[in-house]
Amino acid sequence: MTTQAELLSALQRHLDSDGVLVGETVGRHGPNLRLRGRPDQLIGTPLSECASVGLALGLAAGGARVVVELIDPAGLGRATEALEEAARLAALPGSAWPLSLVVLVPEGSAPPPRGLRCLTTSVAAELPALLDEGLRSGPTVIQLVPGADAGEASAGVGPVSRVAGAGAVLVASGGGVARARVAAEALRGQVELIELRELPPTSSQIDELGRAVSRSGRLVLVGDEALLSRLVVAAFLSLESPPVALTQEADPDALIAALRGSLTY
C-alpha cells in the first residue's frame, strides 16, 4: 500500500476506536471524505495551525485520543506556542496530564520543540504502529515521508537498517530519508543505510548506532545535524575518516559525493 492508503487506514482505525481527528482536510467541508466517523470525531479547523493544535491539546487534556493533521510544512513552526504548552504539560510530575496527542506533519517540517518526540518512517506499513505508539506515549509529532511504499515493516521505533552494505554508514532521519535511499541504492554494497525512526534517539539507540559506525569507521549523517557529536563520541576511537553531516535538504548527488569522499579517504 502507498503512504496515503496506509495513513487513511490507520486514521479510520483510530476513528473506529473512538478517537478524534482534527485538521483542515476533515469534517463536513474537508476533502478527506473517505473517513467515516461521528461529527464530534471529525473536526474541521480554520487556517490556523496554532488554533488547530490548541484545540487538539484541549481535547487530549480532557481525556480524548486526538490526531491533528497539519498540511503545510511551515505549519509546525506556526504552532510552536501550542506545541510548547503540550510539552510543558506532559513534563509535569506525576503524569498529571497523560496527553494522548499526535501531530501529523508533512516532509520538510521544522523539528518539533524540545520535549516532544518525533517519529518518522519511509515504510508505509509502519505508519499504523507509529500512530499507535504516539498515542500511547503522549504528545508526539509524526513526520510523513512521501513515497513510503516499499519494504517490510520492522517492529518498534528504534534505528533500522534499510539497505545493507559494508564500507560506510549513512544515518538518515526525517526529510533526509527519501534522498538517502536514492544515494544508498546508487552505491549499493558499499553503504549501509540506517534510518532513524525516533528523534531525539534514546541513549541505547545512540549506542546501537555507535556500534554500527565503529564496524565501518565511516559516517555520513543526513537530517538532524545535532546528532553528529553524539555519534562521534560513541564511535570516536574507530573512525577512519572525518564524519560528515548534511541537512535534510541535501540532494542525492551531494550525499553520493560525501559517501564517496568518506570511502576513499
pLDDT score at 190: 93
pLDDT score at 54: 92
63-112 pLDDT, tens per residue? 899 999 998 888 888 998 998 888 888 777 765 566 899 999 887 777 78
Check pLDDT > 60 for residue 211.
yes
Residue 225 phi, psi (nearest 5): -65, -25
Give the count of alpha carbons within 13 A of 106, CB side only.
Answer: 9
Q: How far apart are CA 181 and CA 189, in angstroms?
A: 13
Q: DSSP code of 188?
A: B
What pLDDT band is residue 238 in, cutting at 50, 70 and 90? very high
Range with top average pLDDT, 4-18, 42-56, 204-218: 204-218
**Mean pLDDT across 239-246:** 94
What pLDDT band is residue 194 in, cutting at 50, 70 and 90? very high
Q: Which residue has the higher pLDDT, 15 or 159?
A: 15
20-31 pLDDT, tens per residue? 999 887 765 555
Q: In a 3-state reduction of DSSP, which class is residue 120?
A: strand
Domains, in order of start, for the chain: 3-144 (3.40.50.970), 160-263 (3.40.50.920)
Contact between 197 and 160 under an 8 Å Cβ cutoff? The reply is: yes
Q: What would the DSSP string read from start to end of 194-237?
A: EEE-EESPPHHHHHHHHHHHHHH--EEEEE-GGGHHHHHHHHGG
- Taking the alpha carbons of 237, 196, 114, 48 in that order, is the dihedral positive or negative? positive
Cell 493533521 found at: 69
Angle at 57 between CA 86 and CA 136, to 5 degrees: 75
Q: Which residue has the higher pLDDT, 234 or 93?
A: 234
Cell 473512538 found at: 18
Q: Is the model's pTM score more than 0.75?
A: yes
